[in-house]
Structure 1
């Protein structure tokens, strides 16, 4: 859908997208706004998609800048997985500390629980 919508917005040719039952009877400006809203709603990044209220306002003749979120048509298709992976690793470090720390903490917890279980088992035998 994204390439078709992008092409229609760039060329202002709506025939492929418009419902054939309309037989070309539509206002070009309204069709443009509809296609612009559709393009915004199918962006690759969900964070860059407009909220439903923004789409409704756009159809209520408000400025369509609400829908762009600072993005141009086709820009959201650029996806940098290396950058996103780095951001995820940074978030994990912030949330859980270093990997070594979290591993040590898990090991210490396991050892502590194991020794408590052994002490409990030994006291039951006595």
Structure 2
């Protein structure tokens, strides 16, 4: 019988002071699922950012501010379980990754326990990246 080992997502961020040409670079793998989810690269303009957000998995509802920034993200192509934008960079050159398999690390769960009906990994980039400077 084959033993399956659940992978974990990994992100590498390179800041503008660490790259030769001043670019901010983000690289990420998504290997924590039974089957790899196809992803896409999108640019979310301020007019496209939702003002009323509802998570697909937890159903949490959040009203968002009216002044979002433009940002890129790499969401799933199949939206059955939500957008899962995973990582991106905004127009203020802030980069983030947000789906690093938090539920498998007991130290992280001790500091920030998983709460049913709360904000999940699939929500974080949509809720944070458009508003952080």
Structure 1 length normalisation: TM-score?
Answer: 0.28
Bigger CA radius of gyration: 1
**Relative CO higher for 1 or 2, CA cutoff 8 Å, sep ≥ 6?**
2
| The structure with more strand, counted as a fraction of residues | 2
| The structure with more helix, counted as a fraction of residues | 1
